[in-house]
Structure 1
Amino acid sequence: MSDKNQPQQPPQSQQPPIAGYYPYPMFQAPKNDEIDLFDLIAQLWKKKHWIIGCMLITTLLAAVYAFTAKEQWTATAVVDAPSFETMDNYYQGYRLLEGNVEKPTSSEEVADKLFKQFISLAGSYNELSKFVSGSDYFKKLAEGKDEQSRARLLNDIIDNVKLTKEKDSSIYSLSFPAATAIEAKNLLEKYVSVVNSNISKTQYAQLTTQIENKKQTLKNQMDAIKNIAEEQRLEEIQNIKMALTVAEKTNIQKPEITSLTKLDNNSLFLLGKDALSAMSQGIEKQPLVMSDDYYDLQRQWINLNNFKVDRADAKGFSYLKSPMEPIDRDKPRNGLILVLGCLVGLIIGTCFILINNVLVSYRIKTNV
């Protein structure tokens, strides 16, 4: 048989694959432009001195900032409505002004009123600006600054003063910042004292004015009742004198009345000259007879006149936590700044090495 008739064997490279065997590898080798993680770590480790150097430099810069930056300390006080002892005098005056009412105001309501006014004034920008700008602390910081810089400094201080209300409570927290712990405490104490003094001065001045106005009103009412009583007595005297004149003309010496006689101004002469003369003399000499309303007004006037307004120990608030020197400073936070400085150095050093490697690889590729 000739070679042409012989069956031809396929080339070895075209042999069908054997079951379970693959002539090509399962995974392709990484391309030149792909990043090998292990190679990256090795490169970073090789140039760790660069990274450590960057970390030292940034940490040093952070340390310089941390230990030279302006410090801020914040003192905090917690306040609530005033106790009865600190507003006793005010409440007594308030109740005297109310007089005899069906539902008098309670001491808790008066305390709440004073406390709301205290909080309103403490949170007032004008009140805070007036206090800060007049303090020795601000004058020392603003020394040598122009008007615009002084205004900016004043706003910065005021913006850091916080008055916050606790949730579902009548309690407030008041915080005051300063460059030192003792200055923060002193400023907070003085500010609370100034606000309380202004509230007390205003409220007790109003109370004094209201008491004087009330006394004048009561006096006017008493005078009106007294004038009416005087007019009634004069009218009664006039009626008796007219009846006496009639009795003299009719020569009625003794009473001529019976149990059925109805006495009025027209029949008063029937009492006779003797009785009418005695009545006339008695009415002119006896004091005026006043109604119960007159004596009630008089009692109120006497109580108000004897009341002495005293705001020596008056307070529109009570301390739940008095101002104290803060233990921890707000800023700068040295530990956090140093840690961030170290991290920034780590990031900068790593990025520098990665960028440098990319540039080197690019140059090699372009030269090939």
Structure 2
Amino acid sequence: MSDKEQPQSQPQPMLAGYYPMYPTPKKDEIDLFELIAQLWRKKWWIVGCMVAGTLIGGIYAFTAKEQWTATAVVDVPGFDATSNYYQGVRLIEGNTEKSSTPEDVSEKLFKQFISQAGSYNELSKFISQSDYFKALAENKNESETAKLLGDVIDKVSFIKEKDSNIYTVSFPASTALQAKLLLESYMQKVNSNVSQMQYEQLASQIEGRKNNIKNQMDALKKIAEEKRLEEISQIVRALVIAEKSGIQKPQISGLTKLDGTNLFLLGKEALSAMSDGISAQPLVFDKNYYDLQFQYINLDKFKVDGNTAQAFSYLKNPMAPIIKDKPKIAIILVLGALLGVIVGAAIVLANNTLINYRRNENN
């Protein structure tokens, strides 16, 4: 079949408003394989950048200021540590319907401890006076020292466990040993302050309770004395009447009820004996007076002793940390190497791009 006899392809009709789409040239597209090849040709340059980044990271990691954090776990103190305080509280309360329990007293002391230990002012006072901070703040001006103090305080933490009285206390420093010693010293300092304050208040409350009881006892004693004077006065009046009436012997029967109006019927002899006996005998008090006296004696004998007092107990003693917070050497070295690779690759690609651009310009 000749070329003329071959069927000719008919042109496709073109719709109105339709324009054919032609692919754009691909010379500006990034060839992934070419990109990889460029990087591979400069691999030693990239490796060098990676080594340099690792070295820089290593220099920083081994020269940067370290931070170590010591931790301790504290809880409510046991009864042995608060027994003296509890006894004092119970003596002050006396015979009340709802008295404090040992747990109540321990929790009260522990709350005072946590409140003071977490106080910014208390932390500021302790840290600023420590040799550790004085060394850190050496050669710094006032504003720099204040900022440094705030940074150190912000890193101290008291974290409470949910639904319990257990706290985890954290204290930072430049070395593991410094962190441990600072935490120990701070806990002891706060415990001493809280114990001293609470036991001084206890001693003051005991003295106040003693004075209150003594005033009540004096009032009851005065009432008893006035009562005795009134009885003596009645007997004296009855004795005068008996003398004037010439009654020497009792003029009463077994059913006669005696009171201030007919007491003279006892006669002169009996009334004289009664007068002498009442004047000589001690005052008569009711049960309330002796209850108060018992409380006063116990309070007076009680000795407030806060020398061994503990406002908290350790569940975990402060220990020198094993792992430092920063710098994290392994992470820094990895990041340094990664950054070196990225920088090296970027330099290689930028250099090749610049070379290609100049070549195209020349063409």
TM-score (norm 2): 0.92
Is 1:253 the counterpart of 2:248? The answer is yes
Per the alignment, do residues 13 and 113 of structure 1 end up closer, same or farther by CA in structure 2, a change over 3 Å counting? farther
Could you list the per-position Cα deviations for residues 187-220 of structure 1 after superposition, in whole angstroms to 9, with x for gaps in the alignment?
Answer: 1000000000000110011011111111111111
Offset at 1:109? 0.6
Distance 1:342 1:115 in 2: 50
List gaps (5 residues or longer) in structure 1: 1-7, 18-27
Distance 1:39 1:255 in 2: 142
Distance 2:107 2:130 in 1: 30
Partner amino acid for 2:203?
T
1:110 matched to which residue of 2? 105
Is 1:193 the counterpart of 2:182? The answer is no
2:94 matched to which residue of 1? 99
**RMSD (Å), alpha carbons:** 2.1
Distance 1:352 1:11 in 2: 60
Worse overlay, 209-218 or 142-151: 142-151
Q: Secondary structure at the match of 1:144?
A: coil
Partner amino acid for 1:110?
V
Could you list the per-position Cα deviations for residues 20-78 of structure 1 after superposition, in whole angstroms to 9, with x for gaps in the alignment?
Answer: xxxxxxxx898111122222212211111221111111111111100100111110010
Of residues 69, 72, 77 in structure 1, which corresponds to 2:72?
77
2:20 matched to which residue of 1? none
Offset at 1:258? 2.6
2:125 matched to which residue of 1? 130
Aligned counterparts, 1:337-352, within 5 A: 337-352=332-347
Offset at 1:145? 2.0
Partner amino acid for 1:267?
N
1:272 matched to which residue of 2? 267
1:294 matched to which residue of 2? 289
Q: Secondary structure at the match of 1:347?
A: helix
Is 1:58 the counterpart of 2:53? The answer is yes
Q: Secondary structure at the match of 2:87?
A: helix
Per the alignment, do residues 248 and 10 of structure 1 end up closer, same or farther by CA in structure 2, a change over 3 Å counting? farther
Offset at 1:83? 0.6
Offset at 1:346? 1.2
Q: How many residue pairs get matched?
A: 352
Offset at 1:174? 0.8
Is 1:211 the counterpart of 2:175? The answer is no
Offset at 1:12? 7.1
Per the alignment, do residues 339 and 10 of structure 1 end up closer, same or farther by CA in structure 2, a change over 3 Å counting? farther
Aligned counterparts, 1:1-368, within 5 A: 9=4, 14=9, 31-368=26-363
Q: Secondary structure at the match of 2:205?
A: helix
Offset at 1:366? 4.0
Offset at 1:16? 9.4
Distance 2:6 2:348 in 1: 52
Q: Secondary structure at the match of 2:218?
A: helix
Distance 1:288 1:9 in 2: 156
Distance 2:320 2:214 in 1: 55
Q: Secondary structure at the match of 1:311?
A: coil
Could you list the per-position Cα deviations for residues 110-144 of structure 1 after superposition, in whole angstroms to 9, with x for gaps in the alignment?
Answer: 10000000000000111111111111111122222
TM-score (norm 1): 0.91
Distance 2:249 2:5 in 1: 173
Offset at 1:252? 1.5
Distance 2:257 2:164 in 1: 72
Offset at 1:108? 0.3
Offset at 1:343? 0.8
Offset at 1:156? 1.6
Offset at 1:336? 0.5
Worse overlay, 195-204 or 49-58: 49-58
Worse overlay, 47-56 or 358-367: 358-367
Q: Secondary structure at the match of 1:14?
A: coil
Distance 2:78 2:8 in 1: 103
Partner amino acid for 1:188?
L
Partner amino acid for 1:180?
T
Per the alignment, do residues 29 and 144 of structure 1 end up closer, same or farther by CA in structure 2, a change over 3 Å counting? closer
Q: Secondary structure at the match of 2:321?
A: coil
Per the alignment, do residues 191 and 238 of structure 1 end up closer, same or farther by CA in structure 2, a change over 3 Å counting? same
Distance 2:75 2:106 in 1: 10
Partner amino acid for 1:44?
L
Q: Secondary structure at the match of 1:78?
A: strand
List gaps (5 residues or longer) in structure 2: 13-22
Worse overlay, 256-265 or 162-171: 256-265
